[in-house]
Amino acid sequence: MKKGKLIGVAGIVSSTAIAIVLLWSGYIFFRLEQKLLADKFGDITNAVATIIQNENLTLNNLAGSYKDRDGANKQAFAIGMTGNTGKMQITFDDEETRRKKNSALPDSVPSFNKDTLERLGISFIPGAVHTINDFEQLLKDSLCKEQFHGKFYITRQARYSPLFVAIADSISSPGLYTTRPFIINYYQPDVYRIGYTVSFKDILINMAGYIAAAVFILLLVPAAFLLYYRAYRLQHESAMFKETLLSNITHELKTPLTSLQLIIESLVQDTPAGTNTQNAGFASSELNRMKLIVDKILAYGKMNRIEFSVNVEVIDISEVVTEAVHAMHILCMQNNACVAYDITEPIKFAGDRTLLVNMLTSLIDNGIKYNTNKAPRIFIKVSRKGNSICIMVSDNGVGIDTPYREKIFEPFFRIPTGDTHDVRGNGLGLSFVAQTVQLHNGSITVDSRPGGGAVFTIIFPC
């Protein structure tokens, strides 16, 4: 369950890290959207102020010409929204006088007389000039059109003072941002400024895509880890079931095997002197090999448990090799196999004797089973390399193809040969070898090619 805890911790850490990154980037995105909306409000305010300025300039010019009733022609200048200046000729006397006094103007300049203006319902008096209330209403309409929900209030600069004071009929609310000062009437140059806030609702609307993506990611990562943890639990439970089943079966096998060994030893002891006891010796040897197989399966089942510990003792490697070769003696005779070994010097090693013997018997067993030669050959060489012990086990078997060199150490893996296997086995041999090496803090590699045999190299630290 140690791996399950690691998966849980990794899921929590990953989810927390992603949440922090998304929150931080969301905060930056929020501030950016807030600034963009604030700039947008300023642009809308400038546009509305420009409209009011231009209309007031035209109205003031027309009003001035209209009030001057001395009978002379007056020119009024109208500044359009595009900034272009066009001339208007306003005439209050008869048509003949207009033609005489206006001969210098081009025909393209429009001309209006008093009757025309009054018929259009235009009454130019000072009260007709756009005021700050008109500006405020136009600004509200423009903001509504742009779907801007922030609040604002208008301030006016006090006379002979740099301070701005809120006007009485304006909406009063705290403002986070302020626009640049502006005027709306050149003839009455009061200076105004707007304080405003950016609506949280507007920011959320602009961030809707980011928020949806962030929520999706925040939900996806924990869900992925939960699914992975669930798959791990199912796999772990399946492995525990296999281990329990193997343990129960091997325990049941070990009892009759021990009884049989005691019976054979008793028969050998009771056999009269001079009687051939070779068959009894063969039976005893085979029983020992079966016990080694049972012990190997039992040890494999225990290796995957957290509470498993190696029974460490100081042993002589040559004794381990000799015991393993002796245990496989009958199998070698049956398959005309030869197991040779070379140990350059006495080497002491701290390890689990039973596990190491089973490790070597597994490699010898594989070298015999997966061999198409009439005379299988297995060679074991033990040497010291610096502060390490090197054990090399080579054979002249069928070899291992490159794609399977890593997979052969996985539990229950067997190299595929179609729907059936010509060689019987349980797929635990090399997995047991790899776990034994790992428990002794060693390493194992394999060098092989199809048809060229295999060389297993095991390195143990002294």
> What is the per-residue pLDDT across 124-179, written as a single tens digit (0 to 9) for each?
444 445 678 888 888 899 988 888 888 888 888 887 777 777 775 544 455 578 88
Q: Where are the domains of the chain?
A: 2-204, 313-461
Higher pLDDT, 392 or 287: 392
Instruction: From the options 1.10.10.10, 3.30.565.10, 3.90.950.10, 3.40.50.720, give the CATH code of 313-461.
Output: 3.30.565.10
Band (pLDDT 50/70/90 cuts) for residue 74 is: very low
pLDDT score recorded for residue 300: 64
Say whether pLDDT at 36 is over 50: yes
Candidate ranges 105-109, 286-290, 316-320; pick with highest mean pLDDT: 316-320
pLDDT score recorded for residue 149: 84
Candidate ranges 51-55, 221-225, 270-274, 339-343; pick with highest mean pLDDT: 339-343
How many angstroms separate the CA atoms of 325 and 435, rounded? 21
Mean pLDDT of 186-211: 85
pLDDT in tens, 235-248: 877 777 776 776 66
pLDDT score recorded for residue 381: 93
Rg of the chain over CA atoms, in angstroms? 50
pLDDT score recorded for residue 164: 76
Higher pLDDT, 97 or 186: 186
Sign of CA dihedral 342, 346, 350, 352: positive
pLDDT score recorded for residue 380: 94
pTM listed for this prediction: 0.47
pLDDT score recorded for residue 330: 78
pLDDT score recorded for residue 354: 85
pLDDT score recorded for residue 410: 81
pLDDT score recorded for residue 340: 92
pLDDT score recorded for residue 125: 43
Higher pLDDT, 60 or 373: 373
Say whether pLDDT at 282 is over 70: no
Say whether pLDDT at 297 is over 80: no
Q: Are β-strands 443-448 and 454-461 bridged in parallel, bridged antiparallel, or unpaired?
A: antiparallel
pLDDT score recorded for residue 307: 55
Average of per-residue pLDDT values in the chain: 75
pLDDT score recorded for residue 377: 93
pLDDT score recorded for residue 89: 41
% residues pLDDT > 90 (the chain): 11
pLDDT score recorded for residue 184: 83
Higher pLDDT, 249 or 145: 145
pLDDT score recorded for residue 87: 38
pLDDT score recorded for residue 168: 56
Say whether pLDDT at 106 is over 60: no
pLDDT in tens, 395-404: 998 888 888 8
| 405 strand-pairing partners | none
Candidate ranges 44-58, 126-140, 285-299; pick with highest mean pLDDT: 44-58
